[in-house]
A and B are shown apart, each in its own frame.
Chain A
Amino acid sequence: MKRVKIQCNGRQQTLAEDTTLAELLDDLGLPADSVVAEINKKIIDRDQYATFKLSSGDQVELIRFVGGG
């Protein structure tokens, strides 16, 4: 089976081919509505998470709110 290699929050990760963003979040235990995803510096709309397929070399940033002043 083919694999894709991505960078997620600075960490190397290998996924099965055709893994969607929604599936990645699910694997990481992150509710989709608690994070915003930026792939290759482009913000992905939440309603595209289920269809957005990750490709090799993608730089994924998963971001969410934390305490701050």
Chain B
Amino acid sequence: MLTIAETKFSSRLFVGTGKFSSATVMEQAIKASEAQMVTVALRRVDLENPDDDIMTHLDRERVHFLPNTSGARNAEEAVRLARLSRAASGTRWLKLEVTPDPRTLLPDPVDTLKATELLAKEDFIVLPYINADPILALRLQDVGAAAVMPLGAPIGTNLGIQTALQVAIIIEQARVPVVVDAGIGAPSHAARAMEMGADAVLVNTAIAVAGDPVRMATAFKQAVLAGRLAFEAGLGASSTSARASSPQRGMVGESLHFIEE
């Protein structure tokens, strides 16, 4: 079972709550996904529409809250948002996002590391969103990240796991769970990440903007289960050249005549 900071999750699908056409659709999609971890963002209350409160649509008995620091452009802003989110929700959990470039929304490695270290010391459970950089992932673990969230492709692009090679290294080296975040545009992308050994995936846009978000949420749920099952079952090796499926005894190897019997 997935365990992050000693909390157990029976679902390996995390769902984001942004971009849905209505709160009701979001509520139903989350229910269908069976996700136990949902992300939310912090914003100024819109004083013109004070009734628009997402919390009334989320059952905190059933889902775990993962507030993010979206909008933060540097470590300082992220820390401020983190403290606000803890005050607002009472949760120590945090998806740390530091995105100085509003066009690509790619995360800033330097300030992400800085903020993670600071927030971990303040007892936050920090899950930093990062580019798929294995060394950064290790440095973050060294300063107390509870999980790492490498991106598959830039956020909102639906391009899938473009960073597969790097993500594979991160997974191999990780001492904490690896959650593949961003870029997952189809259930097959989610399955691929899970087959590679990711501990969980986070999906938002692909569900929220689907023709039928509720059915798409179900599709992602099943893809994540299938991918995980395949990983646990042990995938056969892949090869770029053809390989006979029966053993080839005649394969040429090194001559080892120098070995004394």
Contact = CB atoms under 8 A, between A and B. Distances in A.
Interface of A: 8-11, 28-31, 34-36, 38, 41, 43, 45-46, 61-69
B41 A65 contact: yes
Interface in B127-173: 155
B68 interface: yes
Nearest to B46: A9
Contacts of B235: none
A69 B54 contact: no
Given A65-B67, A69-B182, A69-B205, 5 more contacts: A36-B88, A63-B44, A63-B45, A64-B42, A67-B40
A33 to B, nearest CB: 9
28 contacts: A9-B44, A9-B45, A9-B47, A28-B45, A28-B47, A29-B50, A29-B51, A30-B45, A31-B53, A36-B85, A38-B84, A43-B84, A43-B87, A45-B87, A46-B87, A62-B47, A64-B53, A65-B43, A65-B54, A65-B89, A66-B18, A66-B43, A67-B23, A68-B16, A69-B16, A69-B17, A69-B19, A69-B202
B26 interface: yes
Contacts of B40: 65-68
A11 B53 CA distance: 20
Nearest to B80: A41
Given A29-B50, A43-B83, A68 B70 contact: yes
Given A35-B88, A69-B16, A64 B51 contact: no
A10 B46 CA distance: 11
Nearest to B44: A9
Contacts of B54: 64-67
B44 A65 contact: no
Interface of B: 16-20, 23, 26, 39-45, 47, 50-56, 67-68, 70, 80, 83-85, 87-89, 155, 182, 202, 204-205
A33 B16 CA distance: 22
Contact of B42 (A28, A46, A66): A66
Contact of A68 (B41, B80, B87, B89): B41
A41 to B, nearest CB: 8
A28 B48 CA distance: 9
Nearest to B45: A62
Q: Which one of B17, B20, B23 has the highest number of Cβ atoms from chain A below 10 Å of its Cβ?
A: B17
B205 to A, nearest CB: 7
Given A63-B42, A65-B88, A69-B16, A34 B53 contact: yes
A65 B55 contact: yes
A54 B96 CA distance: 32
Nearest to B182: A69
B27 to A, nearest CB: 11
Contacts of A8: 47
A26 B213 CA distance: 36
Contacts of A11: 47
B151 to A, nearest CB: 11
